A and B are shown apart, each in its own frame.
Chain A
Amino acid sequence: MSTPYYVSPDQIWEDKKVFVDRGIGQAKEVVVLEYNNGLLMVAENPRRTIFKVSEIYDKIALASTGRVSEYETLRVVGIREAEVKGYTYYREDVTGKWLTNLYSQQMMAIAQAWDVKPLEIELLVCEVDGEPDVRSQIYKIAFDGTYEEMEKFAVIGGRAEAITEKLNETYNEGLDLTEAMQLASRTFEAIEVEESEPYQITPQSIEVGCLDATNGRRKFRRFTAEEIAEIFNHAS
């Protein structure tokens, strides 16, 4: 008769963390920055139809990194639940904090299940104009559903720590759209140390979206490569 095996909860949890860290370690980063009109989201992403940044509801957007198929599912859940809530009650009642809790519960349930692999993703729930006197909110959600509220900027993805350190030195309040976009792309360029040539961010190699508080009901806007190029040209 075989002995039932025992694995300590510590060990299981540790294994899951190592597994997820390995996955997310390779994931490209998304940077979210507060600028004078709202929040700017910039991701290193040369793909033109598979997005890391997307619209959820009027004031809310989602930035995600890791496995596309996994965050895509959560994106769809978010849009769907937001629409149902806004339709049932009132559009204002759909908030970033509510969506963060919804995602957190989903991700926690999956991370704690013993027979399912945890999600290899990280999310940033972004919101502008949510509360009076608060310009913007960013919630960072880890694979196990734990989340924290970020101030001014947030980064997810493999080299999030290095980018955060860099931004701690370089970020200033009151950036306009162009300055914020330049700061994000310069930061991506600065942390790329493995390339022998100087690493260059081009309008085609990044994905940019923003939540602009002046945009009427639907605050989200996605920038095309041409629009990004125009903003960069205008600046230089």
Chain B
Amino acid sequence: MLKPDDYGKTDFLQILKSRYPDQVADWNRLNNVQDGFPHNYLEGTTVLALVYNDGVILAGDRQATEGYQVGERRIQKVFKIDRHSAIAVAGVAGPCFETAKLFQVQVEFYEKMEGTSLSLDGQANYLSSLVRMNLSLAMQGLIVLPIFAGYDLKQKKGRIFKYDALGGRYEEDTYYSIGSGGKDARSTLKKMYRPDMSEQDALTAIAEALWDAADEDIATGGPDLIRKIFPTLISITEQGVSDISDETVEQLFEELVSRLGQL
């Protein structure tokens, strides 16, 4: 069952590929179906991250679109990876979630095998290769774009990594947003970002950025006060990843709405 030369392998994906190839998505087949390409797939929209004094906040709206329709109102685009890192994904929903799941399994697999966690840079680099795996999808316009964020225990600060469709990895020191409403959210974050923000200020900026993205971009979902669906927000600090509760998020948006109403 375990050959000696297998022992040191800490790459879960390589194990899947060599022993369970059916479990690995083979997007290369797509090259043969250029004409009859199916169009009923979901797309996730806006995700963003912001560095503040205690770490970093990662957020995403809850909507997925299918063409011009709302495909899903309660989708989750933010996933915890290990105790001090998380990923938010925008793009074609299926491959996005597959990438996030594989990434999470890989990081945990490494941690258990080695008895020590994979460094934040190590995680960020590994994610590059997962994004690159979707290259043939990207060539069809089906792009998977993650934002990876974490608290670096060595550097004692929150860090953000963004990716391009070819797997290029770039670090952002301040904030970043991507997805269909990403540019709108980025404009808001640009105006509101200050070095060394408090958590409250950071949350306020994130809420406003999400609001503006939903306001300007038809695909991005805003806070749904009737169904009580709110964007996902998580904070990552030295203490680890923690969810910002729905009540807190609801309150943030209520404050924002009343502030906007006074203008």
- Chain A interfacial positions (CB closer than 8 Å to B): 49, 51, 54-56, 73, 76-77, 79-81, 83-84, 86-88, 106, 218
Contacts and interface: CB of A to CB of B under 8 A. Distances in A.
Contacts of A51: 115
B12 interface: yes
Tell me which of A51, A76, A77 has the highest count of chain B C-beta atoms within 10 A of its own C-beta. Answer: A76
Interface string B11-34: 010011001100100000000000
A77 B112 CA distance: 12
A87 B112 contact: no
Contact of A77 (B1, B20, B102, B108): B1
A49 B115 contact: yes
Given A51-B115, A73-B7, A88-B23, A83 B2 contact: no
Interface string B90-105: 0000000000011001
A84 B102 CA distance: 11
A87 B105 contact: yes
A76 B5 CA distance: 13
19 contacts: A49-B115, A51-B115, A54-B112, A56-B112, A76-B2, A76-B7, A76-B113, A77-B2, A79-B109, A80-B2, A81-B1, A83-B105, A87-B12, A87-B16, A87-B23, A87-B102, A87-B105, A88-B20, A218-B108
Nearest to A73: B2
Contact of B101 (A76, A77, A79, A87): A87
**Interface residue tally of chain B, by bracket?**
10 to 19
Interface in B166-194: none
Given A49-B115, A73-B7, A76-B2, A83 B109 contact: yes
A106 B15 contact: no
Contacts of A56: 112
B133 to A, nearest CB: 15
